[in-house]
């Protein structure tokens, strides 16, 4: 049994990862300050003997008494309204200071540490599909820069700790993951569209809806994260994790409408600043090295996500806390 630390463990991805690791009979320490995470995502794990919750902000140094074998650094606001608004400075701090603190902890414990980076490091890509060797096209002063550049800096720190401090690292770049445990208010396109439809609202699409995304169901992403963490030491990444099937945002909106309420309309608003027009991962590297490819198609994944968010809408409606943009 390994002892595994998951930072950002009450968030969407972190909580799914914690649950999977507990199912694999590992000992899990879930660390989060619940800035954007939710305790409800891990409430059912709290009584499990192999699960421990630690409330802490990764921006502040910390230590753990138990010997840590692996660390998944999942801590960072990933909600566009959060990191483009009140949490922008906090996002940069979490990416940079959080990475430093996690890397120092990994060095102290001799633990392997995985950085959950993002496709946003490619910015508005001039290469399509995006391959790991592409260095990106990011606006360093735009409204998304705190997230894009924060993650780029975190990658740099990971590689410097590997080169100069001998820390055992893994770096992955995640593309548009969706599924259960998404916050109804987090502002990501899949949860936005589903919640608007469930609330009987028209679907808001920015621009003409021709921008593309590649949507990866959370179970597939978790499979890849665990494979990468446990891969041979020499395979450190960065490596893309995502579904290479590309959809326009308009196609996604129409699919959600067809599944929930065919009478709803799609309405269009101005495209936000620096919103990438194309997103599609080249996953040749992870296919060849780890024999991984996604197995859940978008229609099937949306059905599961709709079922989950339907329960959340009922819960949030009772407290009047759903406010979809």
- The residues assigned a catalytic role are 147
Buried b (16+ CB within 10 A) or exposed e, 293-319: ebebebeebbebbbebbeebbeebeee
Answer yes or no: are the C-beta atoms of 309 and 198 closer than 8 Å. Answer: yes
Helix axes 249-260, 189-198, angle to 10 degrees: 30
Neighbours of 190 (CB within 10 A): 23
3-state secondary structure of 133: coil
Instruction: Tokens for 10, please give them.
Output: 């009450």
Buried b / exposed e along 155-166 (16+ C-beta atoms within 10 A): bebbbebbeeee
User: How would you classify the pairing of strands 112-118 and 169-174?
Assistant: parallel
CA angle 174, 178, 181 (to 5 degrees): 115
Cα separation, 283 vs 279, whole angstroms: 13
DSSP conformation letters of 93-114: HHHHHHHHHHHHHHHHHT-EEE
Q: Which residues pair with 281 in a beta bridge?
A: 130
The answer to whether 265 and 202 are in contact (CB under 8 A) is yes
Backbone angles phi, psi at 53, to 5 degrees: -100, 135
Tokens 């508005």, residue located = 124
Element (H, E) at 82: helix 80-83
């Amino acid at each position: 049994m390994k002892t595994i630390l998951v930072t950002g463990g009450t968030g969407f991805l972190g909580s799914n990862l914690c649950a999977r690791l507990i199912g694999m009979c590992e000992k899990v320490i879930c660390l989060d300050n619940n800035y954007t995470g939710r305790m409800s995502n891990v409430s059912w794990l709290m009584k499990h003997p192999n699960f421990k919750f630690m409330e802490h902000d990764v921006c502040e140094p910390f230590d753990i008494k138990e010997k840590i074998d692996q660390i998944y650094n999942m801590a960072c606001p990933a909600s566009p309204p959060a990191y483009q608004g009140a949490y922008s400075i906090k996002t940069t701090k979490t990416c940079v200071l959080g990475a430093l603190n996690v890397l120092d902890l990994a060095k102290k414990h001799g633990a392997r540490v995985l950085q959950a980076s993002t496709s946003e490091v490619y910015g508005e890509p001039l290469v399509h599909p995006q391959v790991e060797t592409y260095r990106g096209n990011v606006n360093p002063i735009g409204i998304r820069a705190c997230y894009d550049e924060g993650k780029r800096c975190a990658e740099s720190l990971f590689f410097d700790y590997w080169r100069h401090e001998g820390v055992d690292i893994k770096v992955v770049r995640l593309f548009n993951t969706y599924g259960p445990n998404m916050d109804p208010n987090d502002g990501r396109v899949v949860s936005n569209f589903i919640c608007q439809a469930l609330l009987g609202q028209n679907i808001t699409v920015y621009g003409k809806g021709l921008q593309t995304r590649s949507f990866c169901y959370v179970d597939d992403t978790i499979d890849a994260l665990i494979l990468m963490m446990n891969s041979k030491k020499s395979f450190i990444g960065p490596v893309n994790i995502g579904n290479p099937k590309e959809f326009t945002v308009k196609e996604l909106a129409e699919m959600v409408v067809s599944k929930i309420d065919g009478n709803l309309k799609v309405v269009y608003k101005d495209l936000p600043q620096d919103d990438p027009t194309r997103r599609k991962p080249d996953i040749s590297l992870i296919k060849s090295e780890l024999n991984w490819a996604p197995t859940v198609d978008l229609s099937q994944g949306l059905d599961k996500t709709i079922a989950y968010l339907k329960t959340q809408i009922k819960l949030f409606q009772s407290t009047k806390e759903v406010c979809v943009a």
